[in-house]
Structure 1
Amino acid sequence: MEAKIGYQIFPDRFFSYYNRGNTPWDMPIVKDFNSGKRLYGGDLKGIEEKIYYLKKLNIDFIYLTPIFKANSNHRYDAKDFFEIDPVLGDAKDLKSLINKLHENKIELCLDIALNHMSNESDWFKKALNGEKEKAFFRYENNDFTYWRDHRSLVELNLENEELQKILWKDENSVIKKWTKLGVDHWRLDCAYDLGFEILEDIVKNIKSLGENHEIIGEVWAYPKDWIKIMDGIMNYYYTIIIINLLNNKLKGRTASDILKKTIYDSGLKILKSWNMLSSHDSARIKNIFGDKWKLAVAMQFTLPGSPMIYYGEEIGMEGEHDPFCRGVMEWDNVNENNETLKFYLKLIDLFNNSISLKKGKYYEVISNDDEILAYYRKYSSIRDGKLIVINPTSQEKEIQLYFEESWLLDAMHLFDHFSDNELYIEMGSVKGKIPPNSFGIFHMKEKEYKTYSAYKRL
């Protein structure tokens, strides 16, 4: 089992091929009553046109927020799960995209909101008329139930056996139709609303088409119990640790204790879980972390899990909470002089060429300074080991670190991938200085001398 790099796309804002939107591509995002209705016209064919860019980024899979016919630009209010929103294209466009992605060794993860659907769907209109579809929706205390009381999102009665067959059980069900078309993986929206038993049944039915299909759940909670059912979760538990650490609301020592327990409880499936920093549901990274954004991204790529890049973060796009985090992709900023893009490309390359970051075990590192967070990743040998050190404070720190590595040989050094900083190995511990508001990803060099190597028989 190993981690992958994902790339999240909000389809309406990535690239428009057919120009079917109702809003000019260059119109700034506006927050008003119509925010959820404005369609900039991004589509499936547009994503296909940009696969060369995704290939250059060297990501492993893309995750698309919902593409089914809906009543909004975010499409979490599906009107028909069996039909692709015509603004985005049709089944032929999806199949063409899948084929082109697979040709470039990129997988596709689709998003589906099974907990609820639009109050303007045909099913709900029939339910209001007292037809059999009324049984498809949750009904309590003489009223239908709505997700977080949003009247546009009517909750589905997923305990209904006929509905289960339509959505995921039958061979021509929603989930199986699109999986058979070529969809590799699924992200289950509001997985926490579905409950354990229903989640287990959905996972079982998807896996019946092949164990290679991965199911990731949207869960804003401690991973332990949820990760037992699915292949992984969107690991927002990491997110809050990173936010509070970098905002100096959480000591490095305490963050280390929490991470160790979380990773231990999650087991290997933590590698498939998505390391989240931003998404369509949150402000963008630079808005959240300010000058410490590189520290956050370094943790995203080095903690056990699959880093998920929200489109545009790699080129430095900014935006506060919804709807401003859903701006159109700024293609003019995709160039070789973009410093943010250079940073991401270097980090992606390091991840892809590091077996310790993709598959390695997580080791706790004890620091002499409680404000420092440090951890160690290793797969099989110190040759592939990475020591990560985060200094979220405004002071330079003189550190001494202690961790489980018997091949830390005295009087040798560890070298940072992102700076000229070096740490010195002293009697099996590691010491040195870490600049303020900085991170380091340290590794060994097999030879520090012209002829001599302390690791020659390793």
Structure 2
Amino acid sequence: MSTAPVPHLLDDPHHDGSELYVPPGTPALGDEVPVRVRVPAGGAERAVWLRVVEDGEPRTVPARLDRADAHERWYEATVRVHNPVTGYRLLLDEPGGYRWLNQRGVHARDVTDAHDHRLSVHDAAPAWLHDAVVYQVFPDRFARSAQADVRALPGWATPMGWDDEPVATGDTGRQLAGGDLRGVQDRLDHLQRLGVDTLYLTPVFPGRSNHRYDATTFDHVDPLLGGDDALVALSAAVHARGMRIVGDLTTNHTGAGHDWFRRALADPTSEERSFYYWTAQDPGYVGWLGHRSLPKLDHGAPGLARRLTAGDDSVVARWLRGPVALDGWRIDVANMTGRYGADDRTHEVARTIRATMRAVNPDAVLVSEHFHDAGTDMGAGGWHANMNYSGFSRPVWTWLADPAGRTPTLGLDVPLPRRPGPDVVATMRDFDAAVPWAVTTHQWNLLASHDTPRTRTVVGTRELQEVAAGLLLTYPGTPVVFAGDEGGLTGTTGEHARVPMPWADVDAGGGPRWDAATFATYQRLIALRRSSRALREGGLRWAVVTDDALAFVRETADERVLVLAARAPWPGAELPAWLAPDGAENLYGGAALPRVEGTGPDRGPVLRLPGDGPGVQVWRVR
């Protein structure tokens, strides 16, 4: 391995949607919004132009030099918000040609509009999401209350001991461990000790499976979980602690046992008949991905909107009101909701849900589940944010994947590859650039969920899980922790990863199935995020991208934070000393950021990034 320091990227022109470049808040149609771009002092630009697209037609306006110092120049131009989503990018006129600056970076070639910066008049996610750290609970596997022991199991269920290992394949949905909502309430101290403040529950409606995505009704909570009273009590306990609670709703399909579907089968003249898609092929109706247990909903039916998504009496509204008072919904299979053949009502459904939520609780959040490219769905005024598998989970997994592991790639029948840093960052930038910044800064970033292998299984070691968690808690977006990841739980598939929480080991402060050191790591990183506005709300500038190390800067008007994540030892890097004219304070990882003589031709002072690894280092640079 070469010991020469690697080059940095901080001399690239930069613009993003954070407060240093765009005024905070959601603009209205007709607003004129000043946007700013920073260009390094060594840049050769003769002029900077703003290219904006209005009514589908591009036009350019000059940017004016706003201020300059020895290190950089700042230009400003005005974007008129003429369309609900107004795209723009910057043009740098330079000797020998021009370069474009869009969300993807700087390009010495022509580029498409797909990655332009965007201003949107659609209301952004509620402000509390900036500060939130979300904790995902799969109720059957989190905790059992005393009441759970006296409930009779339904005929579809196979009892599973709390210390049993879940099956990884086959009829996984039948294993019932018996966790319930009173059990979750009994363990809220654990969530607060970790530092999370938002509880996200996978479905609580009755079903014929342990996951309950096959609801038999939306009218009440599964008695196996304690019924409606248990959810009311849990929500009250969560809110009493100053926390929030988000529910999970399936709008793409119901279970075959749902009361709507049973009426539809029994009476072809019923209103419920119009709620579903019907075919001449067996079984006579469309099932989600061919599953006959999950009949697909037809959102072209006016009665379905009234019952499920629109208005005061809808399912969406009912559970946001008291006494439950959920703080938002995560929508299952959001990418397929409203889409079938020639029908494409996804954006309409999303906007309807958001309008209903806004009328009941303007501060509620609406999050979609979308496993691949959600870009075209995220700027339409529907979903506030997406579960960011493509823009965060997958690239981080491929960077940190255990080379000796055989973890499957999510959605593909191939093993998870181990990729170099430049490929990983290129993927993250691609997906970030497909959505407005107001979405990027609220995306639900996650390292694992009930649908994926566990983080520890993917990366293989405690040290690399710390690197993964470091990225989760410092990258733009809302961090989501799957219950048990904070203790190093393992699992090879989504079903196998739904392991019951090992409370005996947790209560003992550690044990064979609970890594207390990993729990302490998550605690420290969550506390770090809470201590820094730049980590919660700041922009993102990539500083170093190498095979084995990634570094980026998060900035607000009052704070600048530098993050370094390394998966292995690497040569280190030299950053310009102007980044920290008054020194640097280590916030995590313990390493100093010394100011030394550089190795470049001018031998001027630089900041030396250490080449240690694996590990995470974070500094507040003054």
TM-score, normalized by the shorter chain, greater than 0.5: yes
The match for 2:443 among 250, 263, 273 is 273
Quick one: structure 1 residues 130 and 270, their matched pair in 2 at CA, closer, same or farther if it must change by over 3 Å?
A: same
Secondary structure of the 1:179 match is coil
Are residue 235 (structure 1) and residue 388 (structure 2) matched? yes
Are residue 417 (structure 1) and residue 592 (structure 2) matched? no
Shift of residue 439, structure 1, vs aligned partner: 2.6
- Answer whether contact 2:397 2:459 (CA < 8 A) is retained: yes
Matched AA of 2:320: T
CA distance in 2, matches of 1:268, 1:428: 37
Are residue 350 (structure 1) and residue 491 (structure 2) matched? no
Are residue 294 (structure 1) and residue 466 (structure 2) matched? yes
Secondary structure of the 1:36 match is helix
2:336 aligned partner? 193
1:160 aligned partner? 301
Matched AA of 2:455: I
2:356 aligned partner? 205
CA distance in 1, matches of 2:594, 2:285: 62
Secondary structure of the 2:216 match is strand
After TM superposition, list the pairs within 5 Å mapping 1:11-90 onto structure 2. 11-17=139-145, 18-19=147-148, 20=151, 22-31=159-168, 34-90=171-227
CA distance in 1, matches of 2:389, 2:533: 24
1:252 aligned partner? 421
Quick one: structure 1 residues 26 and 433, their matched pair in 2 at CA, closer, same or farther if it must change by over 3 Å?
A: closer
CA distance in 2, matches of 1:432, 1:251: 19
CA displacement, residues 26-47 of structure 1 (integer Å, 9 cap, x when unaligned): 3332356543122211111111
Are residue 145 (structure 1) and residue 286 (structure 2) matched? yes
Matched AA of 1:341: F
Deviates more, 1:90-99 or 1:416-425: 416-425
Quick one: structure 1 residues 47 and 75, their matched pair in 2 at CA, closer, same or farther if it must change by over 3 Å?
A: same
CA distance in 2, matches of 1:339, 1:3: 25
1:363 aligned partner? 541
CA distance in 2, matches of 1:234, 1:295: 20
CA distance in 1, matches of 2:201, 2:475: 24
The match for 1:283 among 453, 467, 471 is 453
CA distance in 2, matches of 1:391, 1:108: 34
CA distance in 1, matches of 2:439, 2:470: 21
- Answer whether contact 1:6 1:59 (CA < 8 A) is retained: yes
Secondary structure of the 1:63 match is strand
Secondary structure of the 2:164 match is coil
The match for 1:386 among 561, 571, 578 is 561
Quick one: structure 1 residues 75 and 439, their matched pair in 2 at CA, closer, same or farther if it must change by over 3 Å?
A: same
Matched AA of 2:276: F
2:613 aligned partner? 436
Are residue 136 (structure 1) and residue 264 (structure 2) matched? no
- Answer whether contact 2:131 2:530 (CA < 8 A) is retained: no
2:75 aligned partner? none
Secondary structure of the 1:250 match is coil
Quick one: structure 1 residues 428 and 48, their matched pair in 2 at CA, closer, same or farther if it must change by over 3 Å?
A: farther
Shift of residue 77, structure 1, vs aligned partner: 0.3
Quick one: structure 1 residues 196 and 423, their matched pair in 2 at CA, closer, same or farther if it must change by over 3 Å?
A: farther
- Answer whether contact 1:286 1:316 (CA < 8 A) is retained: yes
Shift of residue 428, structure 1, vs aligned partner: 7.3
After TM superposition, list the pairs within 5 Å mapping 1:321-332 onto structure 2. 321-332=493-504
CA displacement, residues 249-287 of structure 1 (integer Å, 9 cap, x when unaligned): 433234334434544543122232211110110110100
2:313 aligned partner? 172
Shift of residue 157, structure 1, vs aligned partner: 1.1
Shift of residue 406, structure 1, vs aligned partner: 4.8
Matched AA of 2:290: D
CA distance in 2, matches of 1:269, 1:101: 26
Secondary structure of the 1:212 match is coil
**Structure whose residues are more often helix by fraction:** 1
Shift of residue 102, structure 1, vs aligned partner: 0.5
- Answer whether contact 2:144 2:180 (CA < 8 A) is retained: yes
The match for 1:309 among 461, 469, 481 is 481
Look at both structures and tell me which one has the larger radius of gyration over its CA atoms: 2
**Structure 2 alignment gaps of length 5 or more:** 1-126, 154-158, 338-345, 402-416, 511-515, 599-603
Shift of residue 224, structure 1, vs aligned partner: 3.1
Matched AA of 1:418: G
CA distance in 2, matches of 1:258, 1:38: 37
- Answer whether contact 1:251 1:372 (CA < 8 A) is retained: no
User: With structure 1 as the length reference, what TM-score do the two structures score?
Assistant: 0.89
CA displacement, residues 84-139 of structure 1 (integer Å, 9 cap, x when unaligned): 11100122221111111101011000001111111122332332334322211112
Matched AA of 2:376: D
Matched AA of 1:431: R
Quick one: structure 1 residues 401 and 150, their matched pair in 2 at CA, closer, same or farther if it must change by over 3 Å?
A: farther
2:549 aligned partner? 372
CA distance in 2, matches of 1:430, 1:197: 51
Let me know the Cα RMSD of the aligned residues. Answer: 2.3
Deviates more, 1:142-151 or 1:181-190: 142-151
Shift of residue 14, structure 1, vs aligned partner: 0.9
Shift of residue 226, structure 1, vs aligned partner: 2.7
CA distance in 1, matches of 2:495, 2:397: 21
- Answer whether contact 2:371 2:388 (CA < 8 A) is retained: yes
CA distance in 1, matches of 2:191, 2:140: 17
